[in-house]
Amino acid sequence: MQLGAEAKVRLRKMTATDLSAAHALSREAKWPHRLEDWELMLKCGQGLVAEADGQVLGTVMGFPHGPQIATLGMVIVSQQARGSGIGRKLMDAMIEELSPRAIQLNATPDGLALYKSQGFRSVATIHQHQGAAFHAPMPKLRKGERVRPLGSKDGPRIAELDRKATGFERGPLFAKLLKNAQGVVLDRGGEAVGFALFRRFGLGYAIGPVVAPDREGARTLIGHWIGANPGMFIRLDVPGDGGLVDWLQELGLEGVDRVVTMVRGDQPPIGNGAAAFAIVSQALG
């Protein structure tokens, strides 16, 4: 079935009553998101839907991370409406909503041409790894280093580390994530220098974000969650240049997909003593 020429498509703000239809679109696209994942994203950001004759045909979501930058994702158009320009209309509308911020997204091959035409440029790749790992190497802790549970007073510090690593201001996002996530901190000499969250997502669980001062610190944090959950289905989305791809493969978390990180506008400066070794999700960054 194709979208009829007489059908009038309108864009409007996404509400909680649209989430079942949005979830159905992501299932049609064979994306793993649960209805609960959609609910969390709407709490953390804003969305638009394209609708014709009372039917939701497309979605897009935006997530402001402070006044300088936002992420954009969940761009889905129903199979019956593809090729009708709905994706571009949704993107244009969300870009306007998020402006004048810089905007970052993770592009599948199907969306690359559209995003390039809208001023996005490629800056990196994200590799999706998933599977069940049955062992994790014992971390090589340095003198004075330990992994400890995330405490109630750690919120400002992990938000600061995340800002240094990503340029995002995500304190409010972490407050929402931590209602359903667990976290650990990499502590060196009494100072939190990294962290990793573990939460229910999609087909199983996700580790992310992971922020650390170096690759060994990231492996220690990730290894903690894998070691604590042997045989559990786990997903990580990691930067291609983070030095973790081969290591995750060796642990049994196979690389199953790759997307291109793209940016429109100028990103805030990043990398001041911390780096992102896994993202929250491809939509949230």
Non-local CB neighbours of 191 within 8 Å, separated by 6+ positions: none
d(CA 283, CA 285): 6
As a whole number, mean pLDDT of residues 111-126 equals 96
Q: Which of 147, 120, 170, 154 is nearest to 280 (CA)?
A: 170
d(CA 140, CA 117): 46
Q: Which of 71, 23, 33 is nearest to 169 (CA)?
A: 71
pLDDT at 136 over 80: no
pLDDT of 271 reads 83
Q: Is the dihedral of CA 106, 111, 115, 116 positive or negative?
A: positive
pLDDT of 141 reads 86
Confidence of residue 2 (pLDDT cuts 50, 70, 90): low
pLDDT at 50 over 70: yes
Render pLDDT for 221-252 as a digit per residue (tens, 0 to 9).
999 999 999 999 999 999 999 999 999 999 99
Is 248:147 a contact under the CB 8 Å cutoff? no
As a whole number, mean pLDDT of residues 60-64 equals 98
DSSP-assigned letters across all residues of the chain: -PPPTT---EEEE--GGGHHHHHHHHHHTT----HHHHHHHHHHSEEEEEEETTEEEEEEEEEE-SSSEEEEEEEEE-GGGTTSSHHHHHHHHHHHHHTTSEEEEEE-GGGHHHHHHTT-EEEEEEEEEEEE----PPP-PPTTEEEEEPPTT-HHHHHHHHHHHHS---HHHHHHHTTTEEEEEEEETTEEEEEEEEEEETTEEEEEEEEESSHHHHHHHHHHHHHHSTT-EEEEEEETTSS-HHHHHHHT-EEEEEEEEEEESPPPP--SS-EEEE-S-TTT-
Confidence of residue 4 (pLDDT cuts 50, 70, 90): low
Domains of the chain (ranges; CATH) run 10-100 (3.40.630.30), 128-278 (3.40.630.30)
Is 11:18 a contact under the CB 8 Å cutoff? no
Q: What is the mean pLDDT of the chain?
A: 94
As a whole number, mean pLDDT of residues 15-23 equals 98
In the block, which residue shows the tokens 């802790």?
141
pLDDT above 90 as % of the chain: 89
Angle at 12 between CA 9 and CA 15, to 5 degrees: 130
Q: At what angle do helices 35-44 and 19-28 cross, to 10 degrees?
A: 120
pLDDT at 107 over 70: yes
CA 19 to chain centre: 18
Confidence of residue 3 (pLDDT cuts 50, 70, 90): low
Render pLDDT for 190-216 as a digit per residue (tens, 0 to 9).
999 999 999 999 999 999 999 999 999
pLDDT at 138 over 80: no
